[in-house]
Structure formats: structure tokens, C-alpha cells
Amino acid sequence: MELTKLQQAYSKLVFLCDANTKIHCLPFFADFVAKYKIAIIEVEAGEGNKNLGAVKLIWEAMINLELDRSALLLNLGGGMLSDLGGFAASCYKRGIDFVNIPTTFLSQIDASFGGKTAINLGSTKNQIGSFVSPVNVLVCPLFLKTLADRETKNGFAEAFKHALIADRNYWDFLLDLNIFDFNRLDWKPIILLSFNIKMKIVNLDPKEEGIRKLLNFGHTLGHAFEAFANRKTEGSLSHGEAVAAGIICESYISMRLLNFPASAMDDICRRFNHFFDKLDFIDEKNTPAFFDLMRHDKKNQKGKINFSLIEEIGKARFDCEVSDELIKESIQYYSELN
């Protein structure tokens, strides 16, 4: 219904899919695609394709399809696809509208809204991008049925993050939830709670000049771990897996710097230990490489590495300066966890 309205409002609609969402998600729209002869642009799946090469492919396809400025791009996929498609749309003919139809848990609770698009350049993450919002986001938990368990877990890292920075009740709710039985999970409350936390923060600070930085909790070290692991084998570590490890390290820093309670630290470690695999490359030996990668972080100012940290569960603080020593200590803490 929603799509039919969009079809009437725009000169042309085009789906952007990756190889997996074309198989698993596009069939939901088969009648619509056939009825209106909707064109489809396909890119390869995976974070390694969130790059300039894929953007070029999309722009060339758009030109071949003779899309004008009143065309609409429908990004059908996870966060990689909405970041990539949103970025491509934001530059094509100086910007056309796009709608996100998120198909992974992570993108339904986080990546598909909030007004940021990005691609990766070399080994650095999300360094090229734009602040631009989709005209609409269509969320349907049904897509999650075909998602691999690893990808579902990946999304939970962001849900835990939302709870830790802003909502103690949500954290308790997530601790009580039987999140191992994904087939029986009621996704709606999780999607709504996470959406509300992120949007409340984004609305206060759309361009990340202040409070929006709170959403980067777990990401300063998390992005470094992600970039490091994917240097050799792209896709070997997902965003959420890296962020989960980042959350543990940055909670430890919070404990040492802001008196974040040790008992809450134990809760985080216990929950994450059951849920995410421990990453064995996070150790002293690789610490210099993590520092190199962190120095590229967009959150840095005047060469200093800035962190968002938690004072207690549900309460966070941004622009925290942390010494190199304490960062190293947090990596050591992680590496010694059982």
C-alpha cells in the first residue's frame, strides 16, 4: 500500500538489493515489481562492498535507467546497503530521495534511520559520507526469519548499547529476555525501544556536535577492532561483534574513570560472554595497530581520542578524554576475560 503511494508520487522507483536480499526479501514485493516493472540494481553483499566501486556501479545503473531528480531509490537490505544506497542517492543529480526497507535486525533498530550515510575507504570505516535522511523507513520483522543467527546477534550489540547509554529498564528487559530462541522472540518492543532511544538523541543533535556522540559508546575501540580484523579477510568480523568487544573495553574504562559500578560491569561481561564469541586478536601485541586505527576516528578533535562512556547503566557522558595507558589496560582486561 505504502509503495503504491510512492509509485504515484515519484517519476520512477528502483530497488537496490544485495545478492542475499534479492533472494530472501525481494520476493515479498514480487507482485509490485511485476505490476509496475520496477527496475532492480544489485550489488554484492558484505561490508567489503560498501565502497566507491559499488557507488560507481549504482550511479552508472541509475544513469542507464535514465533516473531523473524525481526518482526514488528503495534500499532493501541491512545497514551496509542503506549506508551505501543512501550515500549514492544523496549525490546522484545532487540528491534524490530514498526509502530504507531494513532487512537485518541491526538495521531495523539502528542503521536505517538517524540521518547518516557512509562508505568505507581503504581500511578506515565510514570516513566518506553525508548527513541525509530517508523520506521513509518501512520496518517489517518478517524479514528477520531468513537472517543467519550470527547476523541477529550482531544487531543485539546495538540494542545493548542503547539500553546501556539511556535506559536502565530496557537493560533489565534485555537481561531477562530469552534471546537465544530467535524464532519465538517478539521483535516489536525491542525495535520500538531502540528506535525511540536513538531518535530522541538524534533529534536533539542531528549533526553529532554534542549529545549524539553518546551513540558512539563501544564504537571508538569497536571500529578499530572491526577495521583490524577485516584488513586481511573482509567479513571475518561483523560490526556488532566488534562493537560488543568495544562495549566491554569501554565499560571497563568507564569503571576506572567514572566509577561505573563493578557489579554492573560483571553483568555486562556475563551477558556478553554467553552471547558473543571472545575475539582472540584483541591483545597487547595488536594494541599499537588499534591505536593507529583509532587516530582516524571521526570523533577525534585536535588529535585526541575521545570516548563516550557510561557512569551507570542508563546514563552516559561524551567527550571523555582517556589516557593511552587506560586504553591499553582495557584491552588487557578484555584479553584476560574467560
Closer residue to ligand NAD (CB): 12 or 223: 223
How far apart are the C-alpha atoms of 171 and 164, rounded to whole Å?
Answer: 6
The continuous run of DSSP H or E covering 126 comes out as strand 124-131
How far apart are the C-alpha atoms of 259 and 262, rounded to whole Å?
Answer: 8
- Candidate segments 100-108, 163-171, 182-190, 257-265, binder of ligand NAD by CB under 6 A: 100-108
Contact flags string 317-336 toward ligand NAD, x per CB under 6 A: --------------------
**C-beta of 50: minimal distance to ligand NAD in Å?**
5
- Candidate segments 54-62, 77-85, 275-283, 312-320, binder of ligand NAD by CB under 6 A: 77-85
Nine cell digits for residue 323:
589516557
Cite the DSSP H helix spans in the chain.
2-9, 19-24, 30-36, 52-64, 79-91, 105-106, 149-166, 168-176, 187-204, 219-229, 239-258, 262-275, 287-294, 324-335
Backbone angles phi, psi at 82, to 5 degrees: -75, -35
Among positions 111-170, residues that touch ligand NAD (CB under 6 A) are 111, 114, 116, 126, 143, 146-147, 151, 154
∠ Cα 229 175 108 (to 5°)? 60
Residue 308 contacts ligand NAD per CB under 6 A = no
Closer residue to ligand NAD (CB): 123 or 287: 123
Closer residue to ligand NAD (CB): 114 or 218: 114
What single letter denotes the amino acid at residue 18? D
**C-beta of 142: minimal distance to ligand NAD in Å?**
9
Which 8-state DSSP code applies to residue 336?
Answer: T
Residue 229 contacts ligand NAD per CB under 6 A = no
Residues ≥6 apart with Cβ < 8 Å to 195: 109, 113
Among positions 179-208, residues that touch ligand NAD (CB under 6 A) are none
**C-beta of 259: minimal distance to ligand NAD in Å?**
29
Chain residues that interact with ligand NAD, rule: CB under 6 A: 18, 20-21, 24-25, 45-47, 50, 77-81, 83, 103-104, 106-107, 110-111, 114, 116, 126, 143, 146-147, 151, 154, 238-239
